[in-house]
Amino acid sequence: MGSTAKMNGCDSAFLKQKFDVDAYGPNLKILRTNDQVKELQTILRDKNTSRNDFKFYADRLIRLVIEESLNQLPFTESIVTTPTGRTYKGLKYQKGNCGVSIVRSGEVMEQGLRDCCRSIRIGKILIESDAETHEAKVVYAKFPQDIAERKVLLMYPIMSTGNTAKTAVTILKEHNVLEENIILSNIFSTPASVKSLLTKFPNLTILTSELHSVAPNHFGQKYFGTD
C-alpha cells in the first residue's frame, strides 16, 4: 500500500507539473516526449543503472536535447538545387552562435553539441556555492571574445534550485549578452528552478526534457564516476 500511495503522489505531482508547463509561458520549451525519451529518462533515474549504461543513455538523451536546443536558434529561408535538378525550399542556420557550459555537469553536454556543430566555439563557467552562505559564486569564466554578438547555448543538465544557472545567466549578461539570446539547454529541471529563472529573466529561453519536482542530483557524480 505504501508504494501505491507514493505512486498516487507521483501521479498528482505529474499532473500538476503538466498543468504548470503552460503557466511558464512560451519561453519554456520541453523536448517532445515519446516512449523512447521516457525510457532514457527512466534509465537515468533508476538507481540500479550501471555507470556504463548511465553514461551511454545520458549521452543519447543529451544528443536529443542538443538537437532540440539548436531548433531554438535562428535560421533563414534557403532554396537549393538538388542533384536531380529540382529546387528544394529549405532553410539555413544562421551563424553567430556559441556554447557555454557550466562546469562540471554542463561539460557532459559539450560532446553532444560538438557532434552537431563541429566547429562551434564553447566557453566555460565554473560556479561554486559558498559553503557558508550557499551563495553561488563565479570562480572562473572564459568566453569567446565576441560573445556579446552571439546567441548562447548555455549547457547545464540538472537544475534543482536554479541558483547556479541564475548566476551563469547573470555573468553572461555582464558580458553584454542579450537575455533573449540565451538558451538554457537542460535535461531535468524542477518547476521551482524554472519559475525562479524565468521570473528573474523573462526573456531567457529554457529547453528541458523533463519538469519534475525531484531533480536527479546524482547525475554529475554518476556520469563522472565520482560517487
Partner 1 sequence: MAAKIKLIDPPSSASSESDSTDKENAILNDVDVLEEEADHKNGSSTIDIITPIVAPRSSSKIINRQKMSVVNQSIKKTVSESVLTSQKRTIYTAGRPPWYNTAGQQVEPFVIGICGGSASGKTTVARLIIEELDVPWVTLLSMDSFYKGILNDEDKILAARSEYNFDHPDAFDFDLLKSTLHRLKEGKKVDVPIYNFVSHARESRTKTMYGANVVVFEGILAFHDPGVLKMLDMKIFVDTDADVRLARRLKRDIIQRGRDLDGVLKQYLKFVKPAFSHYIAPSMQHADIIVPRGGENTVAIGLIVQHVHSQLQQRGFALRESLVTLNKGQPLPGSLYILPVTPQIKGLHTFIRNKETARDEFVFYSQRLMRLVIEYALSLLPFKDVIVETPQGIPYRGKRCTADKICGVSILRAGETMEQAFSDVCKDTRIGKILIQTNRTTDEPELYYLRLPKDIKDYMVILMDATVATGAAAMMAIRVLLDHDVPEENILIVSLLMAESGVHTIAYAFPQVRIITTAVDPEINEKFYVIPGIGNFGDRYFGTEPDSSDIQRKGE
Regarding 118 and contact with partner 1 (CB under 8 A), the answer is yes
* DSSP line for 90-151: EEEE-S-EEEEEEETGGGGGHHHHHHHSTT-EEEEEEEEE-TTT--EEEEEEE--TTGGGSE
Single out the residue of 25, 30, 21 nearest to residue 191, CA to CA.
21
**Amino acid at the residue 195:** K
Q: What is the dihedral of CA 48, 29, 162, 100, to 10 degrees?
A: 90
Rounded to a whole number of angstroms, the minimum distance from the CB of residue 219 to partner 1 is 10
**96-107: b (≥16 Cβ within 10 Å) or e:** ebbbbbbbebbb
C-alpha 30/C-alpha 154 separation (Å) is 16
Q: Does 6 bind partner 1 (CB under 8 A)?
A: yes
Q: Does 73 bind partner 1 (CB under 8 A)?
A: yes
Q: Does residue 80 bind partner 1 (CB under 8 A)? A: yes
- Which span (21-29, 139-147, 149-157, 208-216) binds partner 1, by CB under 8 A? 208-216
Measure CA 226 to chain center: 22
In this complex, which beta carbon is closest to partner 1, that of residue 106 or of residue 216?
216
Minimum separation from the CB atom of position 138 to partner 1 (A): 28
Compute CA 172 distance to the chain's CA centroid, rounded to the nearest angstrom.
Answer: 16
* Binding positions for partner 1, 41-70, rule CB under 8 A: 41-42, 45-48, 53, 56, 60, 63-64, 67-68, 70
From the list 16, 92, 137, 200, which residue makes contact with partner 1 (rule: CB under 8 A)? 92
Q: Report the residue from 88, 146, 202, 225 that binds partner 1 according to the rule CB under 8 A.
A: 88
From residue 87, alpha-carbon distances to 36, 77, 78, 97 in Å are 35, 13, 10, 28
Among 38, 137, 142, 200, contact with partner 1 (rule: CB under 8 A): 38
Pick the stretch among 76-84, 123-131, 149-157, 174-182 that binds partner 1 (CB under 8 A): 76-84
| Positions that interact with partner 1 (CB under 8 A) | 3, 6-7, 10-11, 14, 32, 34-39, 41-42, 45-48, 53, 56, 60, 63-64, 67-68, 70-71, 73, 75, 78, 80-84, 86-88, 90-93, 115-116, 118, 214-218
